[in-house]
């Protein structure tokens, strides 16, 4: 399939998001039209307050009080029940948000395995998958630590491992390397790059222009609108491995 024929995974038409009432009313998103196809790796940049996080929240079905249209995989989000939205969110979308905290009474491996519980995967398999993900992030030796025993950067990597363990086909990342040193940033960007090569769709907000080299498209925002939209390289088209959204072979419990 050529990229031109790749179906859109996300379509926004005249999307608006209003906050506040009366004199305090303002549009954080002020008329965005955007088509995102499966397998794109998009970097979103723009000054503080231009609406990047607000847009990611909407794309991730965390905020459905919007004007305009949002179609996800061909379905109008406005027509989906909140239960259906929650199911899509937990099975199809992975969030890498800095504010997502770990559960303090669970150790690292249990934290990472948690999203798999909602998929009905047996405990032993859950722990095996979580362990594999932690090894990808060079955290294999920290599996049985509690969150308070980790450094800030390690905590962030555990949160990212947890966001990716259930193999979401759409990954939304809000400054995923924000507080990390260059080595830790590299580990995360390589993991995102690998997910992209496997055919998954990635939308990443960043303030770091160097990170846009990983992306196939760079969008800049200004005052709640798209300012520039540039395709930098071809999106991943060849899947060398199973894409994350595809079904896993049933593992023995």
Ligand X SMILES: Nc1ncnc2c1ncn2[C@@H]1O[C@H](COP(=O)(O)OP(=O)(O)OP(=O)(O)O)[C@@H](O)[C@H]1O
Contact residues toward Mg ion (CB under 5 A) are 53
229 touches 217 (CB < 8 A): yes
> Of 49 and 122, which has the nearer Cβ to ligand X?
49
> Of 7 and 47, which has the nearer Cβ to ligand X?
47
Question: Binding to ligand X (CB under 6 A): which residues in 118-157?
Answer: none
Site residue total, ligand X (CB under 6 A): 11
Please state at what angle helix 123-136 crosses helix 108-117, rounded to 10 degrees: 120
How far does CA 13 lie from the centroid of its chain? 21
Residue where the block lists tokens 């925002």: 221
Instruction: Kindly report the length of the chain.
Output: 253
Measured CA distances, 105 to 3, 92, 97, 123, 150 (Å)? 46, 27, 21, 18, 13
Report, in Å, the least distance between residue 12 CB and ligand X. 15
Closest CA to 165 of 119, 217, 227, 221: 119
**What is the sign of the dihedral through the CA atoms of 73, 76, 77 and 81?**
negative
Report, in Å, the least distance between residue 29 CB and ligand X. 8
Binding mask 15-54 for ligand X (x = CB under 6 A): ----xx-------x-----------------x-xxxxxxx
> Of 51 and 115, which has the nearer Cβ to Mg ion?
51
> Of 19 and 231, which has the nearer Cβ to ligand X?
19
Report, in Å, the least distance between residue 203 CB and ligand X. 13
Binding-site partner at residue 48 among ligand X, Mg ion, none, CB < 5 to 8 Å by type: ligand X
- Judged by the rule CB under 6 A, the positions of this chain that interact with ligand X are 19-20, 28, 46, 48-54
């Amino acid at each position: 399939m050529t990229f031109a024929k790749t179906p859109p995974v996300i379509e926004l038409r005249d999307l608006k998001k209003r906050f506040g009432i009366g004199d305090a009313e303002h549009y954080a998103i002020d008329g965005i039209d955007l088509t995102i196809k499966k397998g794109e790796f998009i970097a979103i940049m723009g000054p503080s307050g231009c609406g990047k996080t607000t847009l990611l929240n909407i794309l991730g079905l965390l905020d459905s009080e919007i004007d305009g249209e949002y179609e996800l995989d061909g379905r109008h989000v406005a027509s989906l029940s909140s239960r259906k939205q929650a199911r899509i969110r937990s099975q199809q979308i992975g969030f890498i948000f800095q504010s997502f905290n770990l559960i303090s009474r669970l150790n690292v491996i249990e934290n990472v395995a948690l999203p798999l519980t909602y998929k009905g995967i047996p405990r032993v398999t859950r722990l095996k998958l979580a362990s594999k993900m932690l090894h990808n992030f060079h955290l294999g030796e920290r599996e049985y630590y509690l969150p308070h025993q980790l450094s800030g950067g390690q905590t962030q990597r555990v949160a990212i491992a947890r966001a990716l363990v259930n193999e979401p086909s759409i990954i939304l990342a809000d400054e995923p390397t924000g507080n990390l040193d260059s080595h830790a940033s590299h580990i995360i960007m390589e993991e995102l790059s690998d997910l992209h090569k496997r055919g998954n769709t990635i939308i990443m907000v960043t303030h770091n222009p160097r990170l846009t080299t990983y992306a196939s498209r760079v969008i800049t925002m200004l005052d709640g609108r798209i300012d520039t939209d540039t395709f930098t390289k071809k999106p991943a088209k060849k899947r060398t491995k199973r894409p994350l959204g595809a079904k896993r072979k049933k593992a023995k419990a």
